[in-house]
């Protein structure tokens, strides 16, 4: 019997599901059991061509619709997503293995927020009037054209919507390629956008590995590439896009610091560290994986952290009581296990976890290492799993320097009751998305993205509009043209 997660076909192009079984089969494995629940096929060159051609053909008419009309379609899609939240959350859980407790509130709903927010902004995207005496300049905010979106596997619905919603609001079309590890949810986003009235070809989804992504990025018809992925992939994609001077947004990895000062509320800081390391089993780019704790509260912090981490409910992701699910796949589980072994070998003190769970599926224990030092592998490299490194520090000046001593710059958090210090420290940290007495909140109203190797550009908020549009300026002369001869 066909599993309910099996999509109608692998791709969604020009308003309809499309199949081409000549493409390499991509098995969809449910992370909680290791069972294959669906199969899709990577896009063949013919499918890539169909998707790009239909995106290109549909864009101009879409951009000519009024912003209010475009926005109405996006907002209708948001309503459909909310009405079908349970079904879409179950699919997200099949795609990623993340517990339903999370997907019910963080995935389809976050995608709907983006569609609603950018749908609301679409009608107000205007230029300005710049008076110059009798003459004047006016500006127009125009679409870029055909955009490519490429996703990571941790938030497949959210990533498709965070890229698609602002792109479409500005009058662009998009070809979106989800991660080969989670191919299911983006197809639903495309299906729902069309149910909401999106013209055929404006949002297309094709499946495939890196080669399909590369074929999309290098196509001369493409005007912009927005990637969510790792730094090494980001460097390749940025370079490929530069060859044709394409616009880019790069949402890449991190090794973000979370700094807990002696005066912090310990339970809130422990809660922040848990949210910033164990939500989605640690598969979150902005995670605060280097938790710097001031020496005076170190042992108290670790004791409370170990106690609360012990309360994680690890089990069937479809059971709403489960608060901690498996890794997305066996490969990622093994990568993370490798880092756990490195942490032990390099002398970090294991506080809790540190092994695979003794059960079916790709489950790891939530793991905390203390006495981690700056040079250890687990303190330098992005692990993308449930492994928290706790480091100690003495002074503010010292911790800021150590926190910034990394190629990454995605996020940073500070826990303290001293607000002057909180703002001063945040001001000195090299990161794009920061938190004071909190960690990992990502509302659509707030810009999201990194500095240094963690990325270029911003998603969400009005900032995203700037990255999916360009400004045309028009000088208007009211008098005669003066010329030298
Ligand atoms: P990845 O870099 O391996 O792959 C990301 C996507 O790029 C996939 O769809 C992949 O098929 C595609 N790809 C690979 N090579 C390509 C190429 N040469 N040209 C075009 N596309 C190519 O990343 P992943 O393992 O899927 O995801 C985990 C990474 O994503 C982590 O580093 C994480 O921090 C990052 N991430 C960042 C954000 C953010 O918003 N900053 C959000 C989620 C995940």
Q: What is the mean pLDDT of residues 121-145?
A: 98
CB 157 within 8 A of CB 111: yes
Structural tokens at position 333: 């589980």
Best residue among 152, 216, 255, 453 to mutate for probing ligand 1's pocket (most ligand atoms within 8 Å of CB) is: 152
Residue 285 among the catalytic residues: yes
On the question of pLDDT at 396 being above 90, the answer is: yes
Residue 8 among the catalytic residues: no
On the question of pLDDT at 383 being above 90, the answer is: yes
Residue ID of nearest Cα to ligand 1 atom 43: 285
Residue-level pLDDT at 130: 98
Residue 251 CA, closest ligand 1 atom number: 41
CB 273 within 8 A of CB 288: yes
Residue 209 CA, closest ligand 1 atom number: 11
CB 474 within 8 A of CB 451: no
- Strands 203-205 and 173-177 come out as parallel
H or E stretch at 131: strand 129-132
Best residue among 233, 450, 457, 460 to mutate for probing ligand 1's pocket (most ligand atoms within 8 Å of CB) is: 233
* Catalytically annotated residue among 191, 251, 382, 396: 251
> 346, 424, 25: which is closest to 208 by C-alpha?
25
Q: pLDDT tens digits, residue range 55-92?
A: 999 999 999 999 999 999 999 999 999 999 999 999 99
In 252-340, beta strands by DSSP E = 257-260, 290-294
Residue 184 is classified by DSSP as S
Residue ID of nearest Cα to ligand 1 atom 10: 210
Q: pLDDT tens digits, residue range 155-184?
A: 999 999 999 999 999 999 999 999 999 999
In three-state secondary structure terms, 205 is strand
CA distance 130 to 148: 33
> 2, 84, 82: which is closest to 37 by C-alpha?
2
Residue-level pLDDT at 23: 98
* Catalytically annotated residue among 98, 163, 224, 298: 163
Q: pLDDT tens digits, residue range 184-213?
A: 999 999 999 999 999 999 999 999 999 999
* Catalytically annotated residue among 147, 170, 185, 285: 285
Residue ID of nearest Cα to ligand 1 atom 41: 251
Residue identified by tokens 């499309």 is 18
Cα-to-centroid distance, 273 and ligand 1 (Å): 24
On the question of pLDDT at 1 being above 90, the answer is: no
Residue ID of nearest Cα to ligand 1 atom 1: 229
> 325, 286, 225: which is closest to 454 by C-alpha?
286
On the question of pLDDT at 150 being above 90, the answer is: yes
Structural tokens at position 479: 């008098």
Residue 367 is classified by DSSP as E
Residue-level pLDDT at 370: 98
Q: Does the pTM of the predicted model rise above 0.85?
A: yes
Cα-to-centroid distance, 405 and ligand 1 (Å): 23
Q: What is the mean pLDDT of residues 10-33?
A: 98
Q: What is the mean pLDDT of residues 258-282?
A: 98
CA distance 174 to 307: 47
Residue identified by tokens 């995207």 is 125
Residue 445 among the catalytic residues: no
Residue identified by tokens 């749908």 is 119
SS3 content of the chain, % helix, strand, coil (to 5): 40, 20, 40
Q: pLDDT tens digits, residue range 317-342?
A: 999 999 999 999 999 999 999 999 99
Residue 251 among the catalytic residues: yes
Residue-level pLDDT at 228: 98
CB 255 within 8 A of CB 406: yes
Residue ID of nearest Cα to ligand 1 atom 22: 210
Query: HEC string of 8-65?
Result: CCCEEECCEEECCCCCCEEEEEECCCCEEEEEEECCCHHHHHHHHHHHHHHHHHHHHC
CB 201 within 8 A of CB 14: yes
Phi, psi values for residue 94, rounded to 5°: -65, -40
H or E stretch at 138: strand 135-143
CB 61 within 8 A of CB 199: yes
CA distance 295 to 292: 9
């Amino acid at each position: 019997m066909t599993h309910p997660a099996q999509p109608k076909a692998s791709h969604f192009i020009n308003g309809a599901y499309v199949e081409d079984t000549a493409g390499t089969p991509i098995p969809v494995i449910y992370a909680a059991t290791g069972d294959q629940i669906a199969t899709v096929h990577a896009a063949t060159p013919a499918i890539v061509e169909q998707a790009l051609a239909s995106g290109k053909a549909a864009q101009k008419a879409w951009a000519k619709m009024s912003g209010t009309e475009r926005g109405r379609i996006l907002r209708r899609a948001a309503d459909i997503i909310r009405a079908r939240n349970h079904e879409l959350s179950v699919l997200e859980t099949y795609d990623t293995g993340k517990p339903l407790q999370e997907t019910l509130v963080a995935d389809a709903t976050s995608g709907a927020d983006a569609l609603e927010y950018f749908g609301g902004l679409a009608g107000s995207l205007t230029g300005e009037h710049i008076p110059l005496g009798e003459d004047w300049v006016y500006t127009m905010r125009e679409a870029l054209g055909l955009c490519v979106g490429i996703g990571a596997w941790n938030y497949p619905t959210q990533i498709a919507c965070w890229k698609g919603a602002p792109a479409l609001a500005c009058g662009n079309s998009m070809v979106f390629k989800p991660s080969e590890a989670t191919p299911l949810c983006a197809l639903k986003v495309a299906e729902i956008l069309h149910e909401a009235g999106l013209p055929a070809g404006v949002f297309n989804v094709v499946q495939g590995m890196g080669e399909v992504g590369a074929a999309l990025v290098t196509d001369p018809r493409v005007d912009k590439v927005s990637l969510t992925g790792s730094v090494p992939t980001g460097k390749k994609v940025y370079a490929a896009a530069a060859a044709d001077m394409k616009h880019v947004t790069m949402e890449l990895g991190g090794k973000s610091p979370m700094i807990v000062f002696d005066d912090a509320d310990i339970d809130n800081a422990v809660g922040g560290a848990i949210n910033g390391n164990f939500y989605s089993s640690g598969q979150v780019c902005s995670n605060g994986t280097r938790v710097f704790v001031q020496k005076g509260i170190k042992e108290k912090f670790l004791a409370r952290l170990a106690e609360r981490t012990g309360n994680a409910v690890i089990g069937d992701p479809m059971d709403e009581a489960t608060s901690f699910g498996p890794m997305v796949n066996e490969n990622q589980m093994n990568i993370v296990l490798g880092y756990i072994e490195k942490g032990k070998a390099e002398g970090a003190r294991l506080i809790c976890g540190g092994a695979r769970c003794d059960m079916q599926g790709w489950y790891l224990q939530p793991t905390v290492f203390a006495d981690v030092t700056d040079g250890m592998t687990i303190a330098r490299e992005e692990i993308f799993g449930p492994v928290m490194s706790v480091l100690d520090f003495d002074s503010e000046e010292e911790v800021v320097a150590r926190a910034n001593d990394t190629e990454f710059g995605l996020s940073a958090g500070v826990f303290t009751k001293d607000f002057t210090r909180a703002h001063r420290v945040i001001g000195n940290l090299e990161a794009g998305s920061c938190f004071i007495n909190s960690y990992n909140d990502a509302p659509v109203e707030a810009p999201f993205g990194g500095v240094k190797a963690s990325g270029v550009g911003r998603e969400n908020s009005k900032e995203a509009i700037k990255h999916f549009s360009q400004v045309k300026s028009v000088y208007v002369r009211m008098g005669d043209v003066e010329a030298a001869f």
